[in-house]
Structure 1
Amino acid sequence: MSDDNSGTASWSMRGLKRWLNTAPETRDELIKLVQDSHQFLEPDTVDMLEGVLDLPATQVREIMTPRPQVEGVREHDTLGDIMDMIMETNHSRYPVFDSQDDDAVIGILLAKDLIPLLVNTIRQEEGVDTSFRLKSLVRQPLYISETARSDTLLRSLQRTQVHMAVVVDEFGNMVGVVTMEDLLEEIVGDIVDEHDDFDEDSDINNIILHPEKPNTWIVQASTLIEDCNEELHTNFDDTDVDTMGGLVMQELGYVGDLEGEQVVTQGWNISILDVEGRFIKLLELTPVAEDLYNED
């Protein structure tokens, strides 16, 4: 049996050498080479190689957590408020917002940096430390453009030795956050830790059938347009915006009292079900009758 294995291995090595005989000259040729390597490499290895090669073509805004979904703390929050947030969300890092501006980030708080304070509080048996100052604990934020390449983000995170960056648009406004984990998931796939709810993290739950209305779907506004197109066989345009919420905002053309507003595009009626401030959270999608849609 060992001889058979040895023969198979030798054949594979000869085949691999012939396969690599012509070096790829372009990125597309290299990607094609990797995609054709299933006969020599494990599927997971091929997927990871493709993920690495895709990084330069992936913009930060495609992998970030958009602003409406960012969970953070305020500069003047008490230690008790912050601990409640940590217990509820179980993240290891939080952007710290200016108390006067919900979109201005003054730094990043690492949950582990609170441990010395908690230990001192327990030892002194004096309850919450009234001298607590959050600003003294936050770390300098790293800012990255939403249009930056993901490989640029990776180098920036490595250089600054941080694991979270604040994503800004062309005007310097915060539009989300992105982490080292987001980058790794582009390479190795979804990473689910001990605190993650698998069902909540599943992409399929971004689009669900309405429990009461026929032929109607409830869609999270953060859902990528390309995912919606694939799941519902729609043809929404993602040239200028990436998410379904962004598509609705583009169609409306203004920011006002959004809840209950509707748009009709590409044969679908899209209603806004839920908003938080000026951010859309939940949408309802229903196909429009073809004859009604063609009246326009």
Structure 2
Amino acid sequence: MIFESFITPLIFLIGISLVTGLTRSLQFLGRIRLKQELKRKPHYYFFFLTVKRLFPLGKWDSIYYLLSFTKYLLRILFAITCFYYVNFLLFPSEVGIHPWHVTLAIAIAAAIALIMEFIMRYAANISPFGILRFATPISTFFLLLFSPITLFFLKIHKCLFYRNKIAPAKSKVKDKILELVQESELSTLLDPLDRRLITSVASFRDRIVREIMVPRIDIFCLSVNQTVHEAAQKFLSEGYSRIPVYRETMDNIVGVILYKDVMEYYFNCIEKKETSPLETPLEKLLKPVIYTPETKKISHLLQEIRSQQIHLAIVVDEYGGTEGIVTIEDILEELVGEIADEYDIIDEEKLYVPYPAGGWIVDAKMTIIDIEKELGIFIPQSPEYDTLGGFVFHRAGTIPSKGWKIHSDNFDLEVLSSSARSLEKIILIPPGQ
């Protein structure tokens, strides 16, 4: 009698262990290798294929939901049968249900279940394909046994939580790519630079022009009334390959001049021994530019730049004023990182340097997204600002002076230096330092 009664909780324990091992194997292998395995043995994994056909939307989520629900049901049944075994078979002379019997049953059930689940998880990490193939037949039996209950609740779950929450196809692709890159096994095989490149490509469509533009205050421009000779001198002294040209004010940028065109015109005049054409206004050499709003997606701007073969865009606000500029190099740097050419200053000041007491000294112009990507510090984002300095302005309501501080769960912040017009350097310290 005792042996026969002990069989029931043992069956449920085996079910818990195998379903746990199966779930961990599925998570460890990832969706790409799972799809290949399912195609090789479709009859062996018929239950998973059936679920994918029944629930094409969120099919993998549906499989994990059914596995989790089945495991919870098995745990409940295992606990109940353990209680029956402890209360009525180990203590047959006792009358009624005693609290310490319940406590003992729960303790025994929890301890055994946790040990078996740990063993199966460990085994699945070592041999995921072996555990997958070993656990599938018996796990499928329990999945089918409880399917009337689990499928019913899965259907309710889909109706309640998936209605009006169908993600766009592009968003799904991005989520899948990020999920693959962040999986434990794949992440160890990829070089950190490769992971960063893949992540940048996946997030590329979400970035807008305002996040990567050179702000107006940092733009170097020439007036349309300046001469070719003056422009040639500026190109040599500043090291740019193209310079925006404005008429009257910087809010009226009318075009761009190229280093190649200016030098070609300059040397033609020298060869002809004519210097008077060098005093010609720049308007003669102007090339057109693209005007774009600050909220435009950089992926769309890249397509526009490619189609029009214009490598510089002027970012304008809602009133038509100049907000900044974006070049094709700025866009490509969002994918591959900083690009330095022959004319870039190698020892240019970095956006952040280590702070001796812990943390970093960060340039106030560094963007919130770059801080999270480079330093791993999460700073709240808002449409009202893009940079660390903008975040401080938003919180302080003014330009704070040196020593102004913010304490947060994610970071500590202190203004290191500022001017009457802007913030310059900020100390950023992550928690625990």
Please confirm whether the aligned pair reaches a TM-score higher than 0.5, indicating the same fold: yes
Alignment-derived partner of residue 104 in structure 1: 252
Code of the residue aligned with 2:424 in structure 1: it is: L
CA contact (8 A) 1:218 1:285 kept: yes
Q: Deviations over 1:136-187 (max 9, x none)?
A: 2111210111111111111111111111111122332211111111111111
Question: Which structure exhibits the higher relative contact order, with contacts defined as CA atoms closer than 8 Å and separated by 6 or more residues?
Answer: 1
Identity %: 29
- Alignment TM-score, normalising by the size of structure 1: 0.70
Is the partner of 2:310 in helix, strand or coil?
Answer: coil
Code of the residue aligned with 1:48 in structure 2: it is: L
Q: Distance in 2 between matches of 1:197 and 1:18?
A: 47
CA contact (8 A) 1:235 1:266 kept: no
CA contact (8 A) 2:242 2:256 kept: yes
1:226–1:149 Cα change, 3 Å: closer
- 1:241 CA drift (Å): 0.4
Alignment-derived partner of residue 366 in structure 2: 223
CA contact (8 A) 2:207 2:298 kept: yes
Alignment-derived partner of residue 193 in structure 1: 341
- 1:105 CA drift (Å): 0.7
Alignment-derived partner of residue 238 in structure 2: 89
5+ residue gaps, structure 1: 1-14, 288-296
- Alignment TM-score, normalising by the size of structure 2: 0.50
CA contact (8 A) 2:232 2:263 kept: no
Superposition RMSD in Å: 3.9
Q: Deviations over 1:206-245 (max 9, x none)?
A: x6879xxx99x97644222455689999886541201244
More helix by share: 2
5+ residue gaps, structure 2: 1-29, 39-58, 61-168, 408-412, 429-433
2:315 is equivalent to residue 167 of structure 1: yes
Instruction: Give the one of 173, 179, 185 matched to 1:32.
Output: 179
Is the partner of 1:71 in helix, strand or coil?
Answer: coil
2:246 is equivalent to residue 129 of structure 1: no
1:38–1:67 Cα change, 3 Å: same
CA contact (8 A) 1:252 1:263 kept: no
- 1:91 CA drift (Å): 1.4
Q: Deviations over 1:232-286 (max 9, x none)?
A: 99886541201244346556768xxx8x9779462666487447xxx64x52557
Larger radius of gyration: 2
1:188–1:218 Cα change, 3 Å: closer
CA contact (8 A) 2:313 2:327 kept: yes
Code of the residue aligned with 2:327 in structure 1: it is: T
Q: Distance in 1 between matches of 2:200 and 2:374?
A: 22
More strand by share: 1
1:85–1:46 Cα change, 3 Å: same
Q: Distance in 1 between matches of 2:176 and 2:376?
A: 31
Q: Deviations over 1:71-120 (max 9, x none)?
A: 1211111223212221122111111111x212221011111111331122
1:251–1:106 Cα change, 3 Å: farther
Is the partner of 1:139 in helix, strand or coil?
Answer: coil
Is the partner of 1:200 in helix, strand or coil?
Answer: coil
Code of the residue aligned with 1:222 in structure 2: it is: K
Q: Deviations over 1:14-47 (max 9, x none)?
A: x997266499971312221244444666554443
How many matched pairs?
Answer: 259
Instruction: Give the one of 156, 160, 164 matched to 2:304.
Output: 156
